[in-house]
């Protein structure tokens, strides 16, 4: 029986209420504990009512609930457009719920996770992770992916990461010892999975993604909100020189902002022609999302996915310079059927925005 399932979100193709119901059904399975590490959470009705009802019902049933969240607007932190600032609505939203929550602090980087773990350290342990924030726009207007996984071994790594966040209230010492390999099952076949967390393993993650790309034999498919990592851009450039097929989609508006920043940074000047060459070579599609502002709709192409041959690389981790120092999580899942499933989704949304 498969213990890994994936759900894809596409702008306008599902409602927030539908995603909230999926989440409520997931939360309803908890019997002992719920741990949530959230970059951003603020919902309106009916999605808000559905999710909060599920959480309060589990709390009344004796389930221990703890929620970590990014502290939000902090003028000391520098942004790269690879993760837009959370609003102070998250803290206000969670305070109004009455549920135990803790703001996670960093002077310069983000607590950028989007994971939930149920019943850690029990045989029934489960995980919800991926690229999806817990907001109306994330659920209704963005392209995202959600993975739900039943695996005590995998959840143990996430539970350790969560405990580091909760106990310190800071991202700086998290993720250093939480890397491991687990065998999952998808489509009735093994899916060998590597999990890792930044900032502790941020440099390793960046190097490993580039390494997987450098060893590609057949094709690479990308769906990423931004692409700013020098190692990853360089590895993709090498594969272009070898004539390897590359295709996919990125958020055009977000990358326009990044290109503008690169023009003012002599150390990053090489990245602009490297990225533009990649777009031309792979005919990559840039989604024309709405420029970010606190009051605009947030309809980004928000996935963080690279499919290398039969391996799916995804999680909260943007393929960016900043992600190495953020609190992030990433999965590298080796399974041909899952790779095909992700490629079909990416090519579907790329075709939509190519028009």
What is the per-residue pLDDT across 259-285, written as a single tens digit (0 to 9) for each? Answer: 999 988 888 889 999 999 999 999 999
Identify the DSSP state of 61.
T
Cα–Cα distance for residue pair 160/147, rounded to 1 Å: 19
Question: Is the pLDDT at 83 greater than 80, yes or no?
Answer: no
> What confidence score (pLDDT) does residue 339 get?
98
What residues form DSSP beta bridges with 259?
none
Domain holding 280, by residue range, is 4-354
Cα–Cα distance for residue pair 266/234, rounded to 1 Å: 17
In total, how many domains does the chain have? 1
What is the per-residue pLDDT across 217-261, written as a single tens digit (0 to 9) for each? Answer: 999 999 999 999 999 999 999 999 999 999 999 999 999 999 999
For 283, counting Cβ atoms within 10 Å of its Cβ (0-12 exposed, 13-18 middle, 19+ buried), the class is: exposed
> What confidence score (pLDDT) does residue 108 get?
80
CB atoms within 10 A of CB 61: 10
Cα–Cα distance for residue pair 354/150, rounded to 1 Å: 36
The predicted model gives 303-330 an average pLDDT of 96
For 347, counting Cβ atoms within 10 Å of its Cβ (0-12 exposed, 13-18 middle, 19+ buried), the class is: middle
What's the predicted TM-score (pTM) here? 0.95
Task: State in Å, rounded, how far the first CA of the chain is from the last one.
Answer: 39
What is the per-residue pLDDT across 154-194, written as a single tens digit (0 to 9) for each? Answer: 999 999 999 999 999 999 889 988 889 999 999 999 999 99
Per-residue pLDDT band for 89 (boundaries 50, 70, 90) equals confident
Question: Is the pLDDT at 76 greater than 60, yes or no?
Answer: no
The residue assigned the tokens 């070579």 is: 281
The CATH number linked to 239 is 3.30.870.10
Lowest mean pLDDT among 36-45, 51-60, 171-180, 234-243: 171-180
Cα–Cα distance for residue pair 271/280, rounded to 1 Å: 14
DSSP result, 227-264: B--HHHHHHHHHHHHTT--EEEEEEHHHHHHHHHHHHT
Cα–Cα distance for residue pair 261/224, rounded to 1 Å: 18
For 266, counting Cβ atoms within 10 Å of its Cβ (0-12 exposed, 13-18 middle, 19+ buried), the class is: exposed
Cα–Cα distance for residue pair 120/31, rounded to 1 Å: 10
Mean pLDDT for all residues in the chain: 94
Identify the DSSP state of 79.
-
Identify the DSSP state of 220.
E
The predicted model gives 113-130 an average pLDDT of 98
């Amino acid at each position: 029986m498969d213990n890994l399932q994936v759900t894809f979100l596409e702008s306008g193709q599902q409602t927030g209420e539908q995603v909230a119901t999926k989440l409520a059904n997931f939360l309803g399975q908890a019997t002992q504990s719920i741990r949530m590490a959230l970059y951003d959470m603020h919902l309106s009705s009916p999605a808000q009512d559905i999710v909060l009802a599920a959480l309060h019902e589990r709390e009344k049933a004796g389930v221990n609930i703890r929620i970590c969240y990014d502290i939000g607007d902090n003028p000391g932190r520098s942004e790269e457009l690879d993760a837009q600032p959370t609003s102070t609505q998250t803290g206000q939203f969670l305070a109004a719920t009455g549920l135990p929550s803790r703001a996670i602090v960093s002077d310069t980087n983000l607590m950028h996770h989007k994971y939930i773990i149920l019943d850690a350290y029990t045989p029934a342990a489960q995980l919800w992770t991926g690229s999806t924030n817990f907001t109306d726009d994330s659920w209704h207007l963005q392209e995202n992916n959600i993975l739900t996984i039943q695996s005590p071994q995998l959840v143990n790594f996430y539970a350790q990461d969560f405990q580091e966040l909760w106990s310190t209230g800071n991202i700086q010492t998290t993720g250093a010892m939480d890397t491991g390999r687990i065998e999952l099952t998808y489509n009735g076949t093994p899916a060998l999975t590597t999990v890792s967390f930044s900032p502790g393993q941020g440099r390793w993650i960046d190097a490993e993604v580039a390494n997987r790309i450098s060893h590609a034999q057949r094709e690479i498919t990308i769906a990423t909100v931004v692409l700013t990592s020098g190692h990853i851009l360089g590895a993709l450039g090498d594969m272009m020189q070898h004539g390897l097929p590359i295709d996919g989609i990125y958020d055009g508006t977000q990358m326009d902002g990044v290109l503008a920043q690169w023009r003012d940074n002599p150390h990053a000047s090489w990245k602009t022609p490297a990225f533009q060459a990649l777009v031309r070579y792979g005919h990559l599609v840039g989604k024309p999302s709405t420029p970010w502002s606190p009051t605009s709709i947030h309809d980004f192409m928000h996935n963080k996915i690279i499919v290398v041959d039969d391996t799916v690389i995804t999680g909260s981790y943007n393929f960016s310079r900043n992600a190495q120092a953020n609190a992030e999580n990433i999965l590298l899942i080796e399974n041909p059927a899952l790779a095909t499933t992700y490629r079909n989704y990416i090519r579907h949304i790329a075709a939509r925005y190519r028009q």
